[in-house]
Amino acid sequence: MDWLLRGADVLGEGPRDLYVLDGRFADPAQAGPDVQVIDGTGLVALPALVDPHTHLRDPGLGDAETIASGMSAAAAGGYGAIFAMPNTDPVADIPDIVEYEVDTATELGRCDLHAIGAVTRGQLGETLADIRGMADSRAAVRMFSDDGHCVARSDVMRDALIVMRETGSVIAQHAQDPLLTVGAQMDDGELARELGRTGWPKMAESVIIARDAIMADELGARLHVCHVSTLSGVEVVRWAKKMGYPVTAEVTPHHLALDTDVVAGLDPNFKVNPPLRSRENMEACRAAFLDGTLDMIGTDHAPHPDTAKACGWDQAANGMLGLETALAVVADLFVRSGQMSWRELALRMSDRPAALISLGDSYGADLTVGRPACLCLVNPDLPWQVDPQRLSSIARNTPFARRAYHTKVVATVLRGEATFDSCGLFA
């Protein structure tokens, strides 16, 4: 199959033709007279996005998400690859489970899935999981995390980092000291006091990042910090990078776009871990994303069944949907405002997350001849409103419900094949 995309604005740097032959970009001059021509006028062509932080709940009950529904949501959001977190049921802490995840996604073919293995057995924080077995398995796992839980014990973190070094892997830490967040329900601040809820102190995040950065450097391992949400966390990451420590960090769209103002009504769809923070912390995360201290976007896509969010704030589960809204939120905040170019956005939502586990040339900002044709097409001026009922996910727990955006993914292509096409471009 071959096709010619004509007139799309490639990476926001001007229109040019993209010719795809046998799943790779080829020289447009080679396109024959009978080639399928796709009109890209008015669209921005970006590399397919890569999410380093997705929860698929599969294996599991299937009432919140499955690999199939998650793949559909990812494709609709412009994603060509996602990294699947291990807090499944049962936990992905042995080779059989990570191989099941990758095999299922490969059979579906909607999106590449890279399994993240648990650091500890059952994500209980006590004994290391079969990290080497998962690394050597057919799934070839190269990222490990207990996300949803912190690897809190220093001796366990030390042992895990040693195995990371030996297997060429990276550990993705959920930075939350559990002893400092007992009973915490929301950001520690004036609103928590007004509502009579236990606050979530910012130092619970920053002290873990500091400890882990020091340990990673001393042990020669790589550390990736999940969902940074605080000013102090940002400053610790900035310090660690200045010191030359092997640290990368992500920020979520919701921590860039929402602050504690939306929490006042105690709508459980705004309950997340780490919690939405004050405007000062949100602004610090925005600035750190723009200056590169926070390297990339991780959606922390966390679907839940309706029952888990319809039980009152204190009992509600933490987590928000993110795959289908991430690009719109980030692009509207930073590209439409002129603070970031499309190429820079592609770097943060494709190149850098792909580099975490060395995905090679499959994803990246340069849609050049010879590379796999993995891209998404974006309408940068298509007003739309988030309707939870029209999302591809089984779950409906989006914090962006009824919010209006101007940036919309209209098609996603994985190695030359359209995996999402809302406008019939590839029909």
DSSP labels for 237-303?
Answer: HHHHHHTT-SEEEEE-HHHHH--GGGGTT--GGG--SSPP--HHHHHHHHHHHHHTSS-EE---B--
Q: Report whether 64 contacts 394 (CB < 8 A).
A: yes
Question: DSSP letter at 124?
Answer: -
CB-based contacts of 356: which residues, under 8 Å, 6+ apart? 52, 83, 143, 170, 224, 248
Q: Which of 267, 231, 263, 400 is nearest to 327 (CA)?
A: 400
Task: Spell out the long-range contacts of 153-158 with Cβ–Cβ below 8 A and sequence spacing 24 or more.
Answer: 153/125, 153/126, 154/211, 154/215, 156/119, 156/120, 156/125, 156/126, 156/127, 156/128, 157/211, 157/212, 157/215, 158/215, 158/219
DSSP-derived letter for residue 401 is T
Q: Single out the catalytic residue among 212, 300, 387, 421.
A: 300
3-state secondary structure 184-225: CCEECCHHHHHHCCCEECCHHHHHHHHHHHHHHHHHCCEEEE
The DSSP 8-state label assigned to residue 58 in this structure reads: T
Length of the chain: 427
CA distances from 86 to 33, 50, 256, 298, 414 (A): 48, 17, 25, 15, 24
CB contact at 8 A, 19 and 4:
yes
Structure tokens at 243: 């010191």
Under a CB-based contact definition with an 8 Å cutoff, are residues 76 and 392 in contact?
yes
Taking the CA atoms of 179, 159, 126 and 357 in sequence, report the sign of the dihedral they define. positive
Residue 76 DSSP SS3 = helix
Q: What whole-number distance in Å separates Cα of residue 219 and Cα of residue 204? A: 23
Q: Is 300 a catalytic residue?
A: yes
Contacts of 365 (CB under 8 A, 6+ apart): 11, 47, 343, 346, 347, 350, 351
- Rounded distance between C-alpha atoms, residue 410 and residue 8, angstroms: 13
Residues noted as catalytic: 300
